[in-house]
Amino acid sequence: MSPRTHKSPAYSDINLSNWKDYPDIMTDSLWQFPSRDRSGTHVGDYHGNFIPQVAQQILLRYSKAGDVVLDMFLGMGTSMIECRRLGRNGIGIELLPEIAERSNARIEATENPHDVRTVVVNGSSADAETHRKVRTALQGFSRAEADLVFLHPPYSDIIRFSNGENPDDLSTVESDEEFVERFGEVARASFDLLAPGRFMALVIGDKYAKGEWVPLGFQCMQECTQAGYLLKSIVVKDINGNERGKGKNANLWKYRALKDGYYVFKHEYVMLFQKPQLKAKARR
């Protein structure tokens, strides 16, 4: 790798000497995107996918060209499509075989101007066998650990990604408590698979059930900090552009909110965490 000629954070290519040259890279904690990027292979047809601009913002700030990015909940591959466009290698884990296959086809159909590689692993992100496959894929990139991790889990059972036939599906849990506990297993695994000093991005929303706001975001955040991550930022993202933000039933929700005393969801969270650097061993 050639030495850098400019001053950058250790984990990105941003040239700090020209920091005013990045008007499109966000540094504020409120994200609003007027519409979803539907260019190229970003079709936006998978219920529950995030908008590509979320992946793009995270990749530009927290990874470098040639890095290896790991997505523990690949879905239809939005993060990996952006990796191709921005010149990052990738490993994506998806539980459902049909989704993993379709996602792989979509990623491979994406233009690859930087000649990067993507590996799609079909399996559960909580499973030791899957982690072994990820380690093998990392070796193929001459890495022991990933340089950036995405966690975009189901938001408990808000969208059920399978019919309950797969016991590892985090969206078919019996309770929100079980969801948070099982998310915690994935958060701990992601910590082990990430290089020290590098970042993890958690994208998550809350839910409303039985007359109460369920703060899934903060509960999952706690799992991440308990896993060892340092919390760097909580970004509030406007969900307009997501399926949930389309507002088909907007009037009905407004009526219910007025009747039952709550506010209708218009946001989700993008939380940024850093794995601490290894401490140098104290000299005797």
- Please report, as a single letter, which amino acid is at residue 211: G
In the block, tokens 């459902």 appear at 96
- Of 27, 216, 20, 40, the C-alpha closest to 112 is 40
Three-class secondary structure of residue 129 per DSSP: helix
Considering beta carbons, is residue 158 or 257 the nearer one to ligand SAM? Answer: 158
Considering beta carbons, is residue 95 or 214 the nearer one to ligand SAM? Answer: 95
Min. distance of Cβ 168 from ligand SAM in angstroms?
4
- Inter-axis angle of helices 216-227 and 176-193, to 10 degrees? 40
CB atoms within 10 A of CB 40: 14
Considering beta carbons, is residue 52 or 87 the nearer one to ligand SAM? Answer: 52
- Please report, as a single letter, which amino acid is at residue 24: D
| Contact residues: ligand SAM, CB under 6 A | 46, 48-50, 73, 75-78, 93-96, 99, 124-126, 152-154, 161, 168-171
Min. distance of Cβ 32 from ligand SAM in angstroms?
19
Dihedral sign, Cα of residue 189, residue 192, residue 193, residue 198: positive
Min. distance of Cβ 151 from ligand SAM in angstroms?
9
Min. distance of Cβ 246 from ligand SAM in angstroms?
16
Which residue minimizes CB distance to ligand SAM?
Answer: 75
Considering beta carbons, is residue 36 or 61 the nearer one to ligand SAM? Answer: 36
